Amino acid sequence: MASSIPTGGARRILRRLSLLACLTAQLLALAPAAAMVLGTDERDSASAFLTADDESRFEGVGRIECLQPGTRGVSLHATGWIVGTADTVMTAAHTFFKPDANGERTIARDPGNCIFILFNRDQSIREIATVRYAVSPWAETRFRGDSARDFAVLKLSRAMKVSSIPSVAIAAGTMKPVVELVAFQSGVSQDQRARITQGEARRFPALGADHEIDGSRISNGSRLFSTSANSSPGSSGGLYYDRSTGAVLGVHLGGMCDPSARTPAYDPTRCFNYGLRFDRAMLDTIDSVARDAASSGQLIASDQPALLPASVVLAMAG
């Protein structure tokens, strides 16, 4: 966890701490890692900032922030983006979970204590909404920690004002050779602006049966893909975009790298960032939340003591 420097935008609400819930999994000699910069760091270059067209196309990409347990501060968790309807948001499930002392995944924070924020180009806040509820396969203990099901769909307290909502596509067969990751980044200037990083996409390295470590596993490697697109803590939940079709293909999860590597450098089988492909089950979950008809069995309910409601954060901001 790294402290952040208060500068405008949402930092006018409360002191913010940067937090990425690291995803853990086992793959041959690879070790789990936070999302990584895997080569030339272009994240502060002019090409990484959204163009006017991109800002319109991705105006629903925002940050999910939750109250930090034990403090009155806000912990920056992840990227989220509006999908389906203007009050529905997609992100990574591990945003809300962490391993306990026994290595089992427990719910670290209640989605009801979280807010979703959209920013203007000047990093000022454009809109904020609280989270009514979140659903994910990880709500069921038997699926918890499975990277092949590492997604959550949030229902906001109100619809956000957006004119464009990206379409989502199921990538049949081989992934597109080039994808763009649209997400918030840490360790950059103007970090309250989403970035676009580009990289190649490959099939996830072959796995045998369930690989499991520290409460996380990969039950189906074909649901994942590796990529060279640079990322960093705060990028989890970002969207992978195919500019040739104008569709979103996946959700960013994290990185894996050979622990013997002194400096992370992209290798499609030994050091890479990775994402989750969309499938029919994910689209059905989006649809159910968009219709406000989500399955009660997939509602994320906190294992932790109740905290100050997220609505209080908004009141403090006002």
pLDDT in tens, 12-53: 332 332 222 233 233 334 544 556 777 778 887 888 889 999
Average pLDDT over all residues of the chain = 80
Measured CA to CA, the distance from residue 198 to residue 226 in angstroms comes to 13
Overall average pLDDT of the 48-76 stretch: 83
pLDDT in tens, 207-246: 654 555 445 688 998 999 999 999 888 899 999 999 988 9
pLDDT at 295 over 80: yes
- DSSP 3-state assignment of 103? coil
Pairing of strands 61-67, 211-213: unpaired
pLDDT of residue 286: 98
DSSP string, 218-284: ES-GGGEEEE-----TT-TT-EEEETTTTEEEEEEEEEEE-TT-SS---BTTTEEEEEEE--HHHHH
Measured CA to CA, the distance from residue 154 to residue 218 in angstroms comes to 23
| pLDDT grade for 175, boundaries at 50, 70 and 90 | confident
Overall average pLDDT of the 137-151 stretch: 92
Overall average pLDDT of the 149-170 stretch: 96
Is the model more confident about 305 or about 128? 128
| pLDDT grade for 259, boundaries at 50, 70 and 90 | confident
* Contact by Cβ (8 Å): 105, 132: no
Report, in angstroms and rounded to the nearest whole number, the Rg of the chain calculated over CA atoms: 18
Overall average pLDDT of the 265-273 stretch: 87
* Tokens 């957006």, residue located: 162
The fold for domain 25-293 equals Thrombin, subunit H (2.40.10)
**85-108 in b/e burial notation, b at 16+ Cβ within 10 A?**
bbbbbbbbbbbbbbbeeeeebbbb
